[in-house]
Structure 1
């Protein structure tokens, strides 16, 4: 635990509970009882962590970090790969939830200054930045993973010169049996496929389902916590005054 983070615990007494759950030596406080209520408490403490940025909090209303962690069933000690880390919003949530006995590899196709700054401001030794191409995103020395996430970026990968079939096969091979892949993205209209991936930054949910099932993944659950039926699906998210209609898919490796 960094000195700066230790000081934050003094300033924010409620985080003593968070520290007990997440930064304990064995990293298994939340799972010791197997109590879902304890996990929900952990997730709320993660979302409230003072090391998260003001920019993060501004988008929390539309991205719903607690509901995301619940849907992904993140637990202390997990080994996680966050594909297309971007600013590190999701990476940091995952790292706080898995604690010091877990690890999050933050993959990007090139170094991300936002992630570098985030870690410089609040070092988290359980986050490992990884620069690798999207069609081969898994670190060579990574052990078998419990969880992989691709959050609001499958559509970007879809218009890049990426072999998505190869990428998905690598992700499938990287997971433990029973491990999960979470994909969340902005919904395109049905039948649009990937045709609006670059212009509207959206993708047809059926494309994601088909491509990942072809790689061997089984759909385990669909989440509705990011659905917005008022979204006509005709604009990019950065042009909208309301949250996009987004789908959330949880796949499992048999």
Structure 2
């Protein structure tokens, strides 16, 4: 009985310590582990405001879906080091040449900065080969940044949403940022341009079982006209449009983006 009470006391103290902890935003956003170019994009991507809107707090288990090159990993891994768990649900190494290059670069980033990132847990989520990125019902907060159009183009969007739903705890959150299309945009245009309507994203999430909890305009950009022949890649950071129009697109800035918070029902 004394051992049980002592263990309970240690657990309670640990939880109290986490509750009183503060996330190290300064290092996560502007530390020396970040390249000048990546840190400069904080102004367009608003990582602190976005993650706070999603409800990030110390002690959470957070899963980022499709972290790509690891822009948000640079922030999340530092924030959660020693006071939480960060799962990077990347592609499978058997997912083709593009995925292997992306995953290889991501793992190299972690290895070269292991003293900064700590114990990042790299998992797999890439239908149809890898569908369980975390133990079911163990993730407090899942996040995905500008990925929905890629899942649509691969005809795997419903599978991704379903896998994320299964990983999140009852009452947990799925936070999503996506390039935002004008209402009424056809599906084929969404796939081509990477701009997706809020209504379509909400439909996918609700089909998986999530409920819309809140919306934010943190990542909105009213200058984005969303009518470029080359789609969203015309704008920074890709700047794939005509070189003669470069200054115009730089003045527009990064895309107009929806920021949505979904919640998994408690029952």
Q: Does residue 1:195 correspond to 2:206, yes or no?
A: no
Please report how far the alpha carbon of residue 211 of structure 1 lies from its aligned counterpart in structure 2 after TM superposition.
Answer: 1.1
Three-state SS of the structure 2 residue aligned to 1:119 is helix
Q: 1:139 aligns with which of 133, 136, 150?
A: 133
Task: Report if the CA contact (8 A) 1:178-1:253 is conserved.
Answer: yes
Distance change (3 Å), C-alpha of 1:233 and 1:27 = farther
- How many residues end up aligned between the 2 structures? 223
Gaps of 5+ in 1: 1-25
Q: Does residue 1:72 correspond to 2:54, yes or no?
A: yes
Task: Report if the CA contact (8 A) 2:28-2:74 is conserved.
Answer: no
Distance change (3 Å), C-alpha of 1:218 and 1:104 = same
Distance change (3 Å), C-alpha of 1:61 and 1:30 = farther
Tell me which moved more, 124-133 or 181-190: 124-133
Which residue of structure 2 lines up, in the alignment, with residue 117 of structure 1?
A: 108
Tell me which moved more, 76-85 or 123-132: 123-132
C-alpha offsets along residues 47-95 of structure 1, whole Å, 9 cap, x if unaligned? 1222122231132221111112211221222111111110111123122
Please, what is the CA RMSD of the aligned residues? 2.4
Which residue of structure 1 lines up, in the alignment, with residue 232 of structure 2?
A: 237
Query: What is the TM-score normalised by the length of structure 2?
Result: 0.75
Q: 1:212 aligns with which of 186, 201, 205?
A: 205
Higher Rg:
2
Three-state SS of the structure 2 residue aligned to 1:89 is coil
Three-state SS of the structure 2 residue aligned to 1:178 is strand
Distance change (3 Å), C-alpha of 1:115 and 1:28 = farther
Distance change (3 Å), C-alpha of 1:177 and 1:193 = farther
Query: What is the TM-score normalised by the length of structure 1?
Result: 0.78
Which residue of structure 1 lines up, in the alignment, with residue 20 of structure 2?
A: 32
C-alpha offsets along residues 23-63 of structure 1, whole Å, 9 cap, x if unaligned? xxx69756317xxxx55xx3344212221222311322211
Tell me which moved more, 149-158 or 70-79: 70-79
Distance change (3 Å), C-alpha of 1:198 and 1:165 = closer
Q: Following the alignment from structure 2 to structure 1, what is the Cα–Cα distance between the partners of residues 125 and 166?
A: 16
Please report how far the alpha carbon of residue 134 of structure 1 lies from its aligned counterpart in structure 2 after TM superposition.
Answer: 4.0
Gaps of 5+ in 2: 1-13, 92-98, 236-249
Which residue of structure 2 lines up, in the alignment, with residue 12 of structure 1?
A: none
Task: Report if the CA contact (8 A) 1:188-1:203 is conserved.
Answer: yes
Distance change (3 Å), C-alpha of 1:28 and 1:198 = farther
Three-state SS of the structure 2 residue aligned to 1:195 is helix
User: Matches of residues 1-254 of structure 1 in structure 2 within 5 Å?
Assistant: 31-32=19-20, 38=22, 42-109=24-91, 110-111=99-100, 112-123=103-114, 124-134=117-127, 136-139=130-133, 141=135, 144-162=138-156, 164-235=157-228, 236-240=231-235, 241=250, 242-254=253-265
Which residue of structure 2 lines up, in the alignment, with residue 14 of structure 1?
A: none
Please report how far the alpha carbon of residue 198 of structure 1 lies from its aligned counterpart in structure 2 after TM superposition.
Answer: 3.8
C-alpha offsets along residues 132-156 of structure 1, whole Å, 9 cap, x if unaligned? 3146543354761101111011111
Task: Report if the CA contact (8 A) 1:27-1:101 is conserved.
Answer: no
Three-state SS of the structure 1 residue aligned to 2:187 is coil
Structure with the higher helix share, 1 or 2: 2
